A = this chain, B = another copy of it.
Amino acid sequence: MSEGAWLLHPQLAADTTHVGDLALSRLLAINAADYPWLILVPRRTGVVELADLGGDAFPLTAEIGVVSLALKELTRCDKINIAAIGNVVPQLHVHIVARRKTDPLWPEPVFGVTPLPRAKEAAFERFVDKVRKKLGAAQVR
């Protein structure tokens, strides 16, 4: 459960952009045009299920709350969708996705839907930059 030898799973590294590191978790972003999409990955080795985190489940909860609120304020979305699935990538990771009543899949869940159209790279970079600024230099390091 230490941070020492922690490495981001290569599939998550390949599919995402690094937004920053919170106290416990690495914050990542996925480029999906209609679904502003962040992922939290606790920097703890060998953690697959939420319950594997032990007491670190509580700071993860706090970080899910902070990131959810930031995402909701930035996107003015109608609903935040949160999921820890991990059937393909076992390293515990929590999806936090902004949903709008006008998005193409509403009200269906977006988890597991593939492929999803990507945003233009510049728009995605602006989104990532806004998230970084919103969460603040004190939190994202």
Contact = CB atoms under 8 A, between A and B. Distances in A.
A115 B65 CA distance: 32
Contacts of A51: 65, 68-69, 72, 80
A85 B57 CA distance: 19
Contacts of A79: 48-49, 85-87, 90
Nearest to A97: B85
Range, interface on chain A: 20 to 34
A44 to B, nearest CB: 15
What is the predominant secondary structure among interface residues of chain A facing chain B? Answer: mixed
A81 B112 CA distance: 12
Interface in A18-73: 48-51, 57-58, 60-62, 64-65, 68-69, 72
Q: How many copies does the complex hold?
A: 2
Interface of A: 48-51, 57-58, 60-62, 64-65, 68-69, 72, 79-88, 90, 99, 106-109, 111-112
A104 to B, nearest CB: 13
A69 B109 CA distance: 25
